[in-house]
Amino acid sequence: MKTKSFLQFVGPSVVMMMLLLAAPLVITFYLSVRNCAMEMEVVKVEESTPFGIKETVTQRAKMDANGRTVQTCSFVGLDYYRKVLGLDDATPIADEPPADSKAADAKGIPAASEKASNEFLGALRFTLIYTFITLPFVLVIGFLLALGVNSASQKLKGAFITASLLPFIITPVVAALSIKWLFRDNGLVPYLLSHFGIQVFWMAQAWSARLLIIVYGIWHVVPFAFIVLYAGLQGVPQDALEAATIDGATRWQKMRYVTLPHLAPLIVFITLIHMMDAYRVFEPVIVLTQGAFTTSVQYLTYHILLQENNPFKASAAAVLTLIGIVFLLIPLLVKTWREQKQGV
């Protein structure tokens, strides 16, 4: 293919990726190394009272000629990254009063840096647990479903495929709400368990809330693995299967030495996609727990932006989330690159 034709073919895609992916990432990183605060000015305000005019001194945001607040922005480097990680809490935050560390120590309240460290480590710990627990279940259940549908009769395949894809078609928030309604105190699952003398308050305990988030992750992503592996099964070479049958291979041997090697690239693909999505888990955390019992790295970014009203620190948390995804994917990408280079 000529260079001109190649550029015409891939050019639109590259431009769209730059606009939709690269530009937001650059802007997010730019915000993460800056800090902006409103400039305040001292003014005298006269108030009319029953006892006459009273003059008070107060502060207000300085306004420019167009009536907009004047802000002072400065470069803070990696200070916000250290604040998110709990390594340093010296960076000033706009509109946040200084903390009295002595009073906090006297009351037994942990320091801000210690609290930030605990929050980030807790969010990272659960995010990794969620990622690596759901992954094997997604692969195994998806593969078993693909085998079952592939061996079903032609009349039933359409119904089985439709039923299997329903959890994946549902939007994440609705899917998380479905899990919540099933396991809430007056939901269907507690009602059925009560007939066996089992009473579990799923939404009121940390372990059960985390378990529900993991169940949601498996239930919602298994259809994706199923449809990819089912499509891969359609391309398994029948000649190799027939030759293995003639040689006396068992069903397990045919699966191990013929089917699975053929599906290996698809399994790597599913692993890459799921790890990227699982590391950014957000919807089930906010729907099922509202961050009460557990948090994720993505939810921590949302919490910083909403509760602290600090887009600069939230941008640093978002960049750290992206860095975590890259670190998770590096081993798989390196392995895939080496296999492709060797022609495996």
Does one domain contain both 69 and 117? no
Given a cut of 90, whether residue 141 has pLDDT beyond it is yes
In this structure, which amino acid lies at residue 268?
V
Tell me the β-bridge partners of 36: 73
Does one domain contain both 44 and 157? no
Does one domain contain both 324 and 246? yes
Does one domain contain both 50 and 134? no
Task: Please report where in the chains the tokens 């809490």 appear, as a residue.
Answer: 89
Given a cut of 80, whether residue 336 has pLDDT beyond it is no
User: Considering the domain boundaries, does residue 69 fall inside one?
Assistant: yes
- How far is residue 266's CA from residue 139's CA, in Å, rounded to a whole number? 10
- Mean of pLDDT over the chain: 80
Pairing of strands 40-49, 52-61: antiparallel
Does one domain contain both 182 and 53? no
User: Residue 143 has what pLDDT?
Assistant: 93
Residue 252 buriedness (CB in 10 A; 0-12 / 13-18 / 19+): exposed
pLDDT band at 107 (very low <50, low <70, confident <90, very high): very low
CA 30, 33, 38, 39 torsion-angle sign: negative
Does one domain contain both 54 and 121? no
Does one domain contain both 209 and 264? yes
C-alpha 245, offset from chain centre: 45
pLDDT band at 140 (very low <50, low <70, confident <90, very high): very high
- How far is residue 314's CA from residue 138's CA, in Å, rounded to a whole number? 31
pLDDT, tens digit, for every residue of 9-22?
Answer: 777 877 887 787 78
User: Considering the domain boundaries, does residue 4 fall inside one?
Assistant: no
User: Considering the domain boundaries, does residue 258 fall inside one?
Assistant: yes
User: Residue 94 has what pLDDT?
Assistant: 46
Tell me the β-bridge partners of 111: none
User: Residue 69 has what pLDDT?
Assistant: 76
User: Considering the domain boundaries, does residue 162 fall inside one?
Assistant: yes
13 Cβ contact partners less than 8 Å away, ≥ 6 residues apart: none
Helix (H, G, I), strand (E, B) or coil at 250: coil
- Cα-Cα end-to-end distance for the chain: 26
Contact between residue 302 and residue 282 where contact means Cβ atoms under 8 Å apart: yes
Domain encompassing residue 175: 112-342
Q: Specify the CATH number for the domain of residue 194.
A: 1.10.3720.10
Residue 110 phi/psi, 5-degree rounding, is -65, 150
Helix (H) or strand (E) holding 334: helix 311-342
What string of DSSP letters covers 146-210?
A: HHHHHHS-HHHHHHHHHHHHHHHHS-HHHHHHHHHHHHSTTSHHHHHHHTTT----TTSSHHHHH
User: Residue 287 has what pLDDT?
Assistant: 85
pLDDT, tens digit, for every residue of 6-55?
Answer: 677 777 877 887 787 788 888 888 888 888 877 777 777 777 777 777 77
Does one domain contain both 51 and 154? no
User: Considering the domain boundaries, does residue 220 fall inside one?
Assistant: yes
Helix (H, G, I), strand (E, B) or coil at 52: strand
pLDDT band at 228 (very low <50, low <70, confident <90, very high): very high
**Number of domains composing the chain:** 2
Query: HEC string of 13-47?
Result: HHHHHHHHHHHHHHHHHHHHCEEEEECEEEEEEEE
Q: Considering 56, 73, 90, which residue would you say is the last residue of a domain? A: 73
Least confident of 114-118, 157-161, 208-212, 249-253: 114-118
Given a cut of 70, whether residue 79 has pLDDT beyond it is yes
Total Cβ atoms within 10 A of residue 246: 8
| 305-309 mean pLDDT | 82
Q: Output Rg (C-alpha) for the chain, integer angstroms.
A: 28
Token pair listed for 108: 């037994």
- How far is residue 276's CA from residue 81's CA, in Å, rounded to a whole number? 21
Pairing of strands 71-75, 52-61: unpaired
| 295-315 mean pLDDT | 85
